[in-house]
Amino acid sequence: MLKVGLTGGIGAGKSEVSRLLVECGAVLVDADRIAREVVAPGTPGLAAVVAAFGEDILAADGSLDRPRLGSIVFADPDRLAVLNSIVHPLVGTRSRELEAAAAQDAVVVHDVPLLTENGLAGLYDLVIVVDASPETQLDRLVRLRGMTEQDARARMAAQATREQRREIADVVIDNDVPLESLRRRVREVWAGLETRASRAPQE
């Protein structure tokens, strides 16, 4: 099994790269999706978040009001740290369960937005960073996700810098390119991952 960490700044297009890797045959462990699951209504995770932040962060249907919580934590590093201390251990446990269920010769790609920030590079056999210029990130967040420029800049500022991410990368995928160019680059990277996985000692 080859364990790959996939990361990139918000708006860099990491989700598109993970989708293309799955098309190639990767087993995807998506930290964002798991993070939503562990704070779904009725979970201990949601109860812990409400205990820390109050019932104002719940929507009318009892689910987590993500935009409201986001506006609180992304403006306050201390509050963000509190949220992370609740959610990250739960995500880690579930991620390990999914990895353990994959085939022995699988390429398991862990899509981890905050891999750099949380010093997680050592958990993986190699790290892929999806890279895009800050201008591209900002444009995608405002144009495609409907964020205000101020909110987009705040979210970008709360993450590691482009240089910090590139520093931990074993492979960089440039996503300031058209989709077809990105697809070709992902296929190249995949060929290398398959080769490494075939050489990896089987547990």
CATH of the domain at 186: 3.40.50.300
Query: pTM for this structure?
Result: 0.82
Residue 200: the pLDDT is 67
Sign, Cα dihedral of 165, 167, 173, 178: positive
Our count of domains for the chain comes to 1
Say which amino acid occupies 40: A
Percent helix, strand, coil in the chain, to 5, is 55, 15, 30
Residue 48: the pLDDT is 97
**Grouped pLDDT means (10 residues each) for the chain, 203 residues:** 95 95 96 93 96 95 93 89 93 90 92 91 96 95 92 91 95 95 97 88 56
Tell me the residue range of the domain where 47 lies: 2-199
Residue 41: the pLDDT is 96
Residue 92: the pLDDT is 87
